[in-house]
């Protein structure tokens, strides 16, 4: 019988200590997760923890109890989601320099003001448009913004979060922007913890961010101001967050049919995230264009020749 799979998302900025301590924590925590039977991906760094794990309801409950019993994570906020299949193939824990890579040191005590989902509703007027003098800003990447976003929100064309400080400088061209009310959002809230500091340090005066990110908002108020789907960093890539309004806001890049399926182009030389309908995925063998398909074929031929070469060597 198919069982619901529960997915937890969480992060916390807390000093987890030196490399040695992190490595020890990685080992013991991996054992703990595997003992429970979880699958997922957790990043740890000196600055804290950022992860997502999945399992049955019972396994997830065990994990929550385990984490809340640890002093450093006694107040860890878990955001949940339910699916029918695990979005992860295994359990991994990685030690990194940052739990969300900005490659720039920022004062985490200087983040924007947190807004509740209720306060986000109030950003819109009775016609359903963003009120004047508010800049609603997506702190995520361009490919995430493309398939789902808050109505009337903007994005600064980042391909990776690291580009945010540089790209955000372009905002300064908007007249009087530093005096406007800026409201930022990202998937679960972690990127805003750093992005809001970047804007404050650049002289923006009224910087705010959604508490708990998009996930916290859409769970309370689906079918309101969220348009499209939600990009997620696991096997699913795209998740439904509205109950009724599920209309795609994007089109297949090849044939322009209304579509919100993401595909990582199979040509390793290209490797782009592209919106591709199932028909085009089939016709182009998972590549994003005819050119990519030809390159991919060439790549496969080379690879199989290399492999054959190896086999021959072993045989000799």
Single residue of 85, 174, 249, 255 touching Zn ion by CB under 5 A: 255
Q: How far is the CB of 290 from Zn ion (least distance, A)?
A: 10
Site for Zn ion in 57-116 (CB under 5 A): none
Using the rule CB under 5 A, which residue among 7, 184, 214, 254 binds Zn ion?
254
Q: In the 8-state DSSP scheme, what is residue 10?
A: E
Question: What is residue 26's three-state secondary structure?
Answer: helix
Hey, which residues between 289 and 308 contact Zn ion (CB under 5 A)? 292
Is 186 among the catalytic positions? Answer: yes
Nearer to Zn ion, 86 or 267 (CB): 267
Nearest approach, Cβ of residue 286 and Zn ion (Å)? 9
CB of 264 to Zn ion, least distance (A): 9
Q: Which stretch binds Zn ion (CB under 5 A): 38-46, 48-56, 58-66, 250-258?
A: 250-258
| 238 CB neighbour count, 10 Å cutoff | 18
- Extended beta strands in the chain, E state: 5-13, 39-45, 48-55, 79-83, 91-95, 113-115, 134-138, 148-150, 154-155, 181-185, 206-210, 226-228, 230-231, 238-239, 262-264, 273-275
Buried b (16+ CB within 10 A) or exposed e, 168-185: beebeeeeeebebbbbbb
288 binds Zn ion (CB under 5 A): yes
Q: Contact region for Zn ion (CB under 5 A) — 46-54, 146-154, 211-219, 264-272? A: 264-272
DSSP 3-state assignment of 299?
helix
Is residue 280 a contact point for Zn ion (CB under 5 A)?
A: yes
Question: Alpha-carbon distance 186 to 246, whole Å?
Answer: 20
Q: Which of 182, 215, 252, 261 binds Zn ion (CB under 5 A)?
A: 252
β-strands 5-13, 48-55 pairing: antiparallel
Active-site annotation, residues: 186
Point out which residues bind Zn ion (CB under 5 A).
252, 254-255, 265, 267, 270, 277, 280, 288, 292
């Amino acid at each position: 019988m198919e069982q619901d799979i529960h997915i937890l998302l969480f992060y916390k900025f807390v000093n987890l200590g030196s490399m040695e301590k992190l490595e020890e924590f990685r080992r013991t925590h991996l054992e703990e997760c595997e003992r429970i039977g979880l699958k997922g991906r957790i990043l740890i760094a000196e600055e804290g923890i950022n992860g997502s794990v999945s399992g049955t309801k019972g396994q997830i409950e065990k994990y929550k109890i385990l984490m809340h019993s640890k002093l450093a994570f006694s107040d860890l906020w878990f955001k949940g989601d339910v699916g029918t299949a695990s979005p992860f193939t295994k359990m991994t824990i990685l030690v990194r320099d940052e739990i969300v890579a900005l490659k720039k040191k920022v004062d985490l005590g200087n983040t924007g003001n947190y807004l509740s989902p209720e306060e986000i509703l109030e950003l819109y007027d009775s016609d359903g448009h963003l009120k004047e003098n508010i800049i609603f800003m997506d702190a995520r990447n361009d490919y995430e913004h493309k398939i789902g976003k808050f109505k009337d929100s903007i994005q600064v064309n980042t391909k990776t979060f690291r580009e945010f400080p540089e790209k955000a400088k372009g905002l300064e061209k908007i007249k009087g922007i530093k005096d406007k009310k800026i409201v930022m959002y990202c998937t679960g809230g972690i990127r805003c913890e750093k992005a809001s500091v970047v804007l404050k340090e650049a002289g923006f005066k009224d910087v705010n961010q959604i508490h708990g990110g998009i996930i916290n908002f859409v769970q309370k108020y689906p079918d309101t101001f969220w348009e499209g789907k939600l990009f997620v960093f696991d096997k699913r890539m795209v998740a439904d967050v509205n109950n009724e309004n599920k209309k795609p806001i994007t089109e297949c890049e090849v044939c322009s049919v209304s579509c919100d399926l993401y595909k990582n182009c199979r040509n390793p030389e290209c490797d782009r995230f592209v919106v591709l309908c199932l028909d085009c995925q089939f016709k182009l063998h998972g590549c994003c264009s005819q050119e990519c398909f030809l390159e991919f074929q060439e790549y496969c031929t080379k690879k199989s020749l290399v492999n054959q070469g190896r086999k021959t060597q072993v045989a000799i």
